[in-house]
C-alpha cells in the first residue's frame, strides 16, 4: 500500500512538472555557451568580480599613498568664554578672572613619504588669530608662511620599502586569481550542465523504457493467453511495466530539479527549458607534463602567494629585530614665522625658526621579551618556509597528476563512445529477436541494462574530460587549444562598476 501511494505521488508531481514547463521558453545551449552565460550573469561571476575590484582599489590606495598629499585643515571659529585663576600682584592673592577669546587658525600641508629611507618630508604654511573679547580687546595674528621638515626613524625597519615589495605581488596575484576564478566557474558550470544532460538522458531512457514495457506487456499478455509465455514471465513483464512508470516519474522530477538549478545559476527565468547539446567531439590534444608545470609555475597565483608569504615573514623578522635594540628618531624643521596685531604686519619681515629633535630609546632590562619576539618571528619564518617547500612539492605533483588524468581521459571517452554504440545496436537486435520469440525476458532485461549503463558511462566520461580540461586550465592559466595564456578584460571590469 505504501509503495502504491508513493508511486501515485511521484506520478502527480511529474504531471505538475509537465504542465508547469509546457508553455515556457525553450532554448538549446552548448557547454561553451553555458560557461559564457555563467561568466557574465551568475552570482559567482558577480562575487569574483567584486573580489578583484577590492584588490584593485587596495592597490590603488597603495600607489596613491606614495604620492604627495596636499591637505587643508582649519578651525574657522573657536570661541572660549571661561573663568581663569590668576595671581594678582597688586593684592598678592589668587583670584578668578573672566576671559573671553575668539581663536581661528588655518594650515596647508604638503607631505611626501620617502620610500628609500622610510621617512616623511613635509611643507607647511600656517596662519592663526587670537582675538581678546574682554579687557583691551586686542588682536594677535601669528603666521608661518613656510616651514619645511623631515622625520625619520633610524631603527632599521622601513615599512614603505616592504610595502613596495609586497603590494605589487599581491595585486598581480589578485589578477591571476580573477582569471583562475573564471575556470573555477567553468568547472561548476560543467558539473551543472552535465547534471541536466544526465537528467535529460535518464528521462529519454525512461520514456523509451516505458514505451517498450507497454509493448512487451501487451505482447506478453497475448502470448500468455495462448500459453507460449509462462505465468512467471508474464508477471515479470507486468512488474517491469510498473517499474518503468515509476522510473519515468522519478526521471521527470530529477529533470525538473536539475533544470531549475541551472536556470538559477545562469539567472534565467525559472520556467526556461534548456536543451543541452552534448559535445560530440573532443579536442585532439595531448599535454606535455614539463610544459604544463612550467606554465603553472609562471602563471598560477599559488606561486605568487608563496612569494608573498616569504616576504611577509622576512618583514616580520626585520620588524622584530628593529624593536629589539636601540631605537632612534630624527625630527627636524626650518621655517619662517611672525606675529603682529594686524594681518598685513604678520607677513612682514618674518623671522627664522628651527627645530631639531633626536629621540633615543635604549632597552635596559626587559627580561628577554625583545629577544623572544625576534626568536618567535624567526621560528615562524622557518615553519612557513618548510610549509611552502612541502606545498611546492605537492603543487608539482598535482600538476603531473592532472596532466596524466587529462591525457588518459580522451581515450576513455573514445572507448565509452564505442561501448555506447555497441550497446545500442545490441539492444535493438535483442529487442527484435524478443518480438519473434528468439530470446526470453531475462536476455532482454540484460540488454536494456547494458544500454543504460553504456550511455551513462559515455556521458560520465565526457563530463570528466571537460572537468579535467578546465581544471588543467585553472592550474596553468593557459588555453591549450589556442596555445596561449588566458587573459581577462580588467579595464572592462573596472569600468563596469
pLDDT above 60: residue 54: yes
For 362-393, what is each residue's pLDDT tens digit?
666 667 777 888 889 889 999 999 999 999 99
Which of the pair, 288 or 371, is modelled with greater confidence? 288
Residue of 422, 470, 477 whose CA lies nearest to 189 = 470
- What per-residue confidence (pLDDT) applies to 22? 45
- As assigned by CATH, the class of the 2-58+164-309+384-495 domain is mainly alpha
- What per-residue confidence (pLDDT) applies to 369? 76
| Residue 229 pLDDT level (bands cut at 50, 70, 90) | low
| Residue boundaries of the structural domains of the chain | 2-58+164-309+384-495, 69-114+119-157+328-362
Which of the pair, 478 or 88, is modelled with greater confidence? 478
For 101-155, what is each residue's pLDDT tens digit?
889 999 999 999 998 888 899 999 999 998 888 777 788 888 888 899 999 888 8
| Residue 466 pLDDT level (bands cut at 50, 70, 90) | very high
pLDDT above 50: residue 5: no
- The answer for residues whose C-beta is within 8 angstroms of residue 164's C-beta and 6 or more apart is 66, 115
For 408-438, what is each residue's pLDDT tens digit?
999 999 999 999 999 989 989 988 887 787 8
- Between the two ends of the chain, the Cα-to-Cα distance in Å is 60
pLDDT above 60: residue 182: yes
DSSP assignment letter at 269: -
pLDDT above 70: residue 276: yes
| Residue 9 pLDDT level (bands cut at 50, 70, 90) | very low
What's the mean pLDDT when you consider all of the chain? 86
Amino acid at each position: 500500500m505504501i509503495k502504491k501511494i508513493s508511486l501515485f505521488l511521484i506520478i502527480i508531481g511529474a504531471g505538475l512538472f509537465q504542465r508547469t514547463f509546457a508553455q515556457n521558453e525553450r532554448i538549446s545551449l552548448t557547454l561553451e555557451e553555458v560557461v559564457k552565460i555563467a561568466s557574465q550573469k551568475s552570482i559567482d561571476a558577480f562575487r569574483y568580480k567584486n573580489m578583484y575590484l577590492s584588490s584593485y582599489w587596495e592597490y590603488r590606495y597603495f600607489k596613491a599613498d606614495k604620492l604627495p598629499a596636499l591637505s587643508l585643515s582649519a578651525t574657522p571659529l573657536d570661541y572660549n568664554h571661561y573663568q581663569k585663576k590668576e595671581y594678582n600682584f597688586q593684592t598678592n592673592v589668587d583670584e578668578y578672572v573672566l576671559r573671553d577669546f575668539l581663536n581661528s587658525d588655518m594650515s596647508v600641508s604638503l607631505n611626501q613619504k620617502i620610500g628609500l629611507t622610510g621617512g616623511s618630508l613635509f611643507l607647511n604654511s600656517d596662519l592663526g588669530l587670537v582675538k581678546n573679547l574682554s579687557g583691551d580687546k586686542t588682536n594677535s595674528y601669528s603666521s608661518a608662511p613656510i616651514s619645511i621638515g623631515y622625520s625619520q626613524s633610524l631603527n632599521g625597519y622601513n615599512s614603505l620599502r616592504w610595502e613596495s615589495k609586497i603590494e605589487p605581488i599581491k595585486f598581480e596575484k589578485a589578477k591571476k586569481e580573477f582569471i583562475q576564478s573564471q575556470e573555477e566557474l567553468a568547472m561548476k558550470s560543467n558539473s551543472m550542465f552535465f547534471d541536466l544532460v544526465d537528467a535529460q538522458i535518464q528521462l529519454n531512457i525512461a520514456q523509451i523504457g516505458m514505451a517498450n514495457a507497454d509493448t512487451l506487456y501487451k505482447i506478453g499478455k497475448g502470448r500468455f493467453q495462448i500459453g507460449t509465455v509462462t505465468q512467471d514471465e508474464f508477471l515479470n513483464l507486468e512488474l517491469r511495466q510498473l517499474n518503468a512508470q515509476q522510473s519515468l516519474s522519478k526521471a521527470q522530477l530529477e529533470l525538473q530539479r536539475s533544470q531549475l538549478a541551472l536556470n538559477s545559476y545562469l539567472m534565467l527565468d525559472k520556467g526556461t527549458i534548456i536543451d543541452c547539446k552534448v559535445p560530440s567531439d573532443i579536442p585532439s590534444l595531448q599535454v606535455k607534463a614539463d610544459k604544463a608545470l612550467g606554465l603553472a609555475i609562471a602563471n598560477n597565483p599559488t606561486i605568487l602567494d608563496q612569494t608573498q608569504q616569504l616576504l611577509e615573514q622576512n618583514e616580520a623578522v626585520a620588524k622584530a629585530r628593529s624593536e629589539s635594540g636601540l631605537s632612534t628618531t630624527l625630527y627636524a624643521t626650518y621655517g619662517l614665522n611672525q606675529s603682529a596685531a594686524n594681518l598685513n604686519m604678520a607677513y612682514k619681515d618674518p623671522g627664522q625658526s628651527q627645530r631639531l629633535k633626536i629621540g633615543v630609546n635604549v632597552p635596559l632590562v626587559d627580561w628577554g621579551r625583545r629577544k623572544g619576539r625576534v626568536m618567535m618571528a624567526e621560528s615562524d619564518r622557518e615553519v612557513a618556509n618548510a610549509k611552502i617547500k612541502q606545498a611546492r612539492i605537492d603543487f608539482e605533483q598535482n600538476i603531473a597528476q592532472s596532466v596524466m588524468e587529462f591525457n588518459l581521459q580522451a581515450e576513455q571517452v573514445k572507448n565509452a563512445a564505442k561501448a555506447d554504440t555497441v550497446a545500442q545496436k545490441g539492444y535493438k537486435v535483442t529487442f527484435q529477436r524478443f518480438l519473434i520469440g528468439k530470446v526470453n525476458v531475462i536476455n532482454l532485461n540484460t540488454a536494456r541494462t547494458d544500454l543504460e549503463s553504456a550511455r551513462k558511462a559515455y556521458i560520465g566520461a565526457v563530463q570528466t574530460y571537460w572537468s579535467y580540461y578546465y581544471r588543467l586550465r585553472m592550474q596553468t592559466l593557459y588555453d591549450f587549444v589556442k596555445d596561449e595564456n588566458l587573459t581577462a578584460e580588467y579595464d572592462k571590469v573596472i569600468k563596469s562598476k
